[in-house]
Amino acid sequence: CSIDLLCPVKLFYPIELKDFRLIIHNLLDNAAKYSKDNIKVTVELEKDDKNLVLIVKDQGIGIKKENHDKIFDRFYREDQAHSSKIKGTGIGLAIVKEIIEKYHGKIIVTANLPKGIIFKVELPL
């Protein structure tokens, strides 16, 4: 995967470094695991009037809409048929959601049409 980073020169938010690293690591790890080689992953970090906003977009296999909430459950893996081929425990997104809620934020999942997924993290200022 290639990664595009689009962000301001300086952006400050009161978050523990380990928490921010875990959010980034898990979202990018999922994007890489569920995308073919040489597929672009886009990462955006911005600030609006109310939130610090982190967006990770991939062009991978995507997630069925009815499973968007389930993917944050510990040990849930959407594609059981391929779970032996794709390494992971199914806890990465649960950890991400837990950290985001610690900061009173939210994570929104949408399809990245024509294929892939978009994770939008909003952390209140």
Beta partners for residue 107, in sequence order:
121
Say yes or no to pLDDT of 79 above 70. Answer: no
Domain total in the chain: 1
- The CATH number that applies at residue 120 is 3.30.565.10
Instruction: Give the SS3 label for residue 117.
Output: strand
User: Tens digit of pLDDT for each residue in 5-46?
Assistant: 555 557 778 999 999 999 999 999 988 887 877 788 899 988
Measuring CA to CA, which residue among 75, 41, 33, 58 is closest to residue 109?
58
Domain that holds residue 52: 2-124
Q: Are strands 40-47 and 117-124 parallel, antiparallel or unpaired?
A: unpaired
pTM here is 0.80
